[in-house]
Amino acid sequence: MTKSTAQLKVYLSVVHKLKEMIQRDRLSAGDRLPSERELSERLSVGRSSVREAFRALELLGLIETRHGEGTFLRDFRDHHLVELLGMFILQNGQAEKDVLEMKIWIEMGSMNRMLQNDVSTLNWLFDSIVTGYQNGEITTINHFKSSLFESSGNRLAYKVWLVLYDFDRMSSKESAALDIELIYTVKKAMLSKDMTIIRTFCTEPVTLQQAK
Amino acid sequence: MTKSTAQLKVYLSVVHKLKEMIQRDRLSAGDRLPSERELSERLSVGRSSVREAFRALELLGLIETRHGEGTFLRDFRDHHLVELLGMFILQNGQAEKDVLEMKIWIEMGSMNRMLQNDVSTLNWLFDSIVTGYQNGEITTINHFKSSLFESSGNRLAYKVWLVLYDFDRMSSKESAALDIELIYTVKKAMLSKDMTIIRTFCTEPVTLQQAK
DNA sequence: TTTTACAATTGGTCAGACCACGTAATTCTC
DNA sequence: GAGAATTACGTGGTCTGACCAATTGTAAAA
């Protein structure tokens, strides 16, 4: 895969060395990597090449650098890969419809996923959301959804949802205010697996509130 | 979103400037970006900072640099990002699961979306897929899916699906071969809106073939 | 006109300098 | 001796300048 004839760029070789190092030493999230200067010496390459490798991995979300402290391995699940891709994928003024539509797909997937939780877990989740609502932390329907999907267990999907949410919010009007009755409505729907209401909650949540 | 107090690292600001430049000038795949030295001057930053930004975007697969020629925008679909992430993530089981799961959500959404097409459109679509199969262009189930989702009308979702597909492909075994019977099975299911089969096609397509 | 040689441009890499930030060791103060 | 202030060191952040290597464009030579 990696061409050996037309020799690799130095910064890429550093990336590979780092990978080997990480595997060999069983490094995991939070662990510290050698300093730029040390790596530079150990690998006999310029510090700038090491930095290029580090910057690339940083933009990928694989490492984190803290000024004055060092460079650390990051929890890969936090990768902001999504933001990055979003920045470039959505560049061409993509149809807002596509964004909104895909957002709903993820919502449906997340809701379905949560349906597999047991009753006590669901109860606990909704209770904490109600508390958040009463404390004024959750004020819009999308805040509500965010809390739900964050707990759905698929972090990647949640990240993507957040990006789509941001994009959607920019183009459309302000997010609708949250009625506490809606929380209970959704809770009931989840506990009884009422797919009709769940679907409506994803596609047109405001109608659920007006119906009240 | 982007912190303005603790000022951004220079290389990140370059990334943002590039993004703006790409949007403003409507640059697309294959177009050339300014040289490192020119950017360095124009943005009043060191060339090394420009290089850090370029290297990062290169590792992401968003640009391509050719020695002696310059730096060019790349079709994002060519990203070797998957290899990169896989290289660092593969030991993490959860990430894989998230990818596969979200891939299925998009598939379900795309299929549902296509259900709204009229019969003649669906017929035309499947006919062209059959032709592609007979010409040896579509050989795996995922090729089949790709053809479907590409036509689903939501380009954003299709792009994301491609990313997830690549990611999934490198972690799991080879994609299953496509049986032409499966095409007809799915076609029939679409025309009759048989959600059970459609769901199975998204989640466990091979079982549909074994059943034949 | 075609070919060849050379100059200019561009990326690739390195070395060194200096600043800013954190931390740990040290010194000072009480 | 304990705590607070200071200092020294290590680290990332950034810039500059230098040189090499690949490519392209141009001008001279055939």
Digit-coded pLDDT (tens) for B48-102: 999 999 999 898 788 999 999 999 998 765 545 544 455 444 445 567 788 889 8
For tokens 């053809």, name the residue.
B147
Work out the pLDDT band at A95, boundaries 50, 70, 90.
low
Nucleotide D20 C1' to residue B64 CA (A): 21
Closest Cβ–Cβ partner in A57, A94, A156 for B155: A94
Q: Given A12, A19, A104, which is nearest B88 (Cβ)? A: A19
List CB contacts (< 8 A) between B84 and chain A.
60
A125/A129 Cα distance (integer angstroms) = 6
Whether residue A177 has pLDDT greater than 70: yes
Residue B37 has pLDDT above 80, yes or no: yes
**Which residues in chain A have their CB less than 8 angstroms from residue B19's CB?**
87-88, 91
The single residue listed with the structure tokens 């109608």 is A207
With beta carbons under 8 A apart, name residues in chain A contacting B106: 102, 105
pLDDT over 80 (residue A7) = no
Least confident residue range of A54-58, A121-125, B56-60: B56-60
3-state secondary structure of B26: coil
Per-residue pLDDT averaged across A36-49, rounded? Answer: 95
Size of interface A-B (CB pairs under 8 A): 124
Q: Order of strands across the sheet with B63-66?
A: B32-33, B70-73, B63-66
Residue A38 has pLDDT above 90, yes or no: yes
Q: What is the pLDDT of residue B203?
A: 93
Average pLDDT over chain B, rounded to an integer: 84
What is the mean pLDDT of the segment spanning A145-167? Answer: 84
**What pLDDT score does A163 carry?**
72
Query: B64: which strand partners?
Result: B72
How far A140 CA sits from the closest chain B CA (Å)?
Answer: 19
Average pLDDT of the segment spanning A157-186: 79
Q: In this predicted structure, what is the pLDDT of residue B208?
A: 86
* Residue B46 three-state SS: coil
Residues at the strand D interface (Cβ < 7 Å): A 33, 35-38, 47-48, 51, 54, 65-71; B 9-11, 40, 44-49, 52, 66-69
pLDDT of residue A4: 36
Tokens of A82: 């999504």
| pLDDT band with cut points at 50, 70 and 90 for residue B153 | confident
CA distance A146 to chain B (A): 16
Nearest nt by C1' to A12 Cα = C12
H-assigned helices in B5-92: 10-24, 36-42, 47-60, 81-89
pLDDT at A191: 95
Is the pLDDT score of A69 beyond 90? yes
- At residue B3, the pLDDT reads 34
Shortest distance, CA B128 to any CA of chain A (angstroms): 24
**What is the rounded average pLDDT for all residues in chain A?**
84
How many whole angstroms separate alpha carbon B6 and alpha carbon A207? 43
Report the chain A residue with the minimal C-alpha distance to residue B22: A91
- Beta-carbon separation of B55 and A57 below 8 A: no
Beta bridge partners of A63: A73
Chain A nearest CA to B54, separation (Å): 9
Q: How confident is the model at residue B28 (pLDDT cuts 50, 70, 90)?
A: confident
% of residues, chain B, pLDDT over 70 = 84
User: Which residue among B56, B99, B105 places its CB closest to the CB of A106?
Assistant: B105
Cβ within 7 A of any strand C atom: A 9-11, 40, 44-49, 67-69; B 33, 35-38, 47-48, 51, 54, 65-71
**pLDDT at residue B77, as a whole number:** 53
* pLDDT, greater one: B166 or A82: B166
Which residues of chain B lie closer than 8 angstroms to A171, CB-CB?
none
Residue A88 with chain B: CB contacts under 8 Å: 19, 22, 62, 76
Instruction: State the burial class of residue B25 (Cβ atoms within 10 Å of its Cβ: 0-12, 13-18, 19+).
Output: exposed
pLDDT band at A19 (very low <50, low <70, confident <90, very high): confident
DSSP B92: -
Residue B2: is its pLDDT beyond 50? Answer: no
A37 CA to C22 C1' in angstroms comes to 17
> What is the pLDDT averaged over residues B100-107?
92
